[in-house]
Structure 1
Amino acid sequence: MTVPTSGVLVFDGECGFCTRALGWLRLLDREARLVTLPLQGPGVPARVGATPAACKEALHFAADGRVRTGAAAVNGALAVALQRGFPEWLYARTARTQERVYEWVARHRGLLPGMTPWCERYPAACAPTADPRS
């Protein structure tokens, strides 16, 4: 299994749990192979071929022309960060269970331990672009 050398991960920058989880992922990404972007940034969802609503519902990860969502996105991003195929190998064997756990976590993320959300810490990264017609 060939692991992509880079990828784009779109996350909810208004979610404290998501921001905390992103911090863990960035620690694993020692070679800075991942571009991590808050969905609230201008044009960010379009970078992964998604809508803001779809990105609010689940992580989106794009690499090598493929977009993964939910638990598949987590495993894809981990594979790139670690440069190891194990996360995707494991996902292929446990996808149904991982997706159920991911969906539960996504529904309850506001109740899980987090930190100051990305968009509060870095408001410029989440600022909408000005409408040139105004």
Structure 2
Amino acid sequence: MATPVLIYDGDCGFCTRSVRLAEKLPLRARIVAWQEADLAALGTTEQRARHEVLWVGERGRVRGGADAVAALLRHCGLPWSVPGTLLSLPVLRSLAAFAYRWIAANRYRLPGSTPACALPADQRPGA
């Protein structure tokens, strides 16, 4: 794969708003909602894409959740690669994973969310 791919939940307002912020970074990657992606060709599944944001690197390695966010930041170069690298360190990696899981579980309460964010994954539009 020549260009990395960021896969997100296009039915989630919070996720979509977060991706719009990521688009402002010096990111050389394709960004696609999982609902519009050929997930098998990208080496992942719908079940995983419904669960977390995914980063598919140039070599096809799939990272999810906080690891995906860290990989995205590292890919942006300086100064963004610094927090991306820090989020990959063992202690901060655990904290980042916890924070990611909390945000994912509460995204319907956060700014930019839509009613679809509060629905269980199998009941969201496009399910």
**Does structure 2 retain, via aligned residues, the 8 Å contact 1:8–1:62?**
yes
Equivalent residue, structure 2, for 1:69: 64
Question: Within 2, Cα distance between the matches of 1:12 and 1:27?
Answer: 18
1:98 pairs with one of 93, 96, 108: 96
3-state DSSP class of the match of 1:28?
Answer: coil
RMSD: 2.4
**Percent of aligned pairs with the same amino acid:** 31
Residue 100 of structure 1 deviates from its aligned partner by 0.3
2:74 aligned residue: 79
Specify the code of the residue in structure 2 equivalent to 1:74. V
1:53 aligns with 2:53: no
> 2:6·2:55 contact (CA, 8 Å) conserved in 1?
yes
SS at match of 1:10: strand
Post-superposition offset of 1:22: 0.4
User: How many residues are paired up?
Assistant: 111
Q: TM-score, normalised by structure 2?
A: 0.76
- Indicate the structure (1 or 2) with the bigger Cα radius of gyration: 1
Residue equivalent to 1:13: 10
Find the residue that maps to 1:19 and give its secondary structure.
helix
* 2:8 equivalent to 1:25: no
Q: Which has the higher contact order (CA 8 A, sep 6+)?
A: 1
Secondary structure, aligned partner of 2:43: coil
Distance 1:110 1:6, change over 3 A: same
Q: How far 1:73 sits from its partner (Å)? A: 0.2
| Secondary structure in 2 matching 1:48 | coil
Residue deviations 1:90-123 (CA, integer Å, cap 9, x gap) = 012210000000001111112211167xxxxxxx
**Distance in 2 between the 1:36 and 1:47 partners?**
15
Q: Can you give the 5+ residue segments of structure 1 that lack an aligned partner in the other structure?
A: 117-126, 128-134
How many angstroms apart in 2 are the aligned matches of 1:16 and 1:53? 19
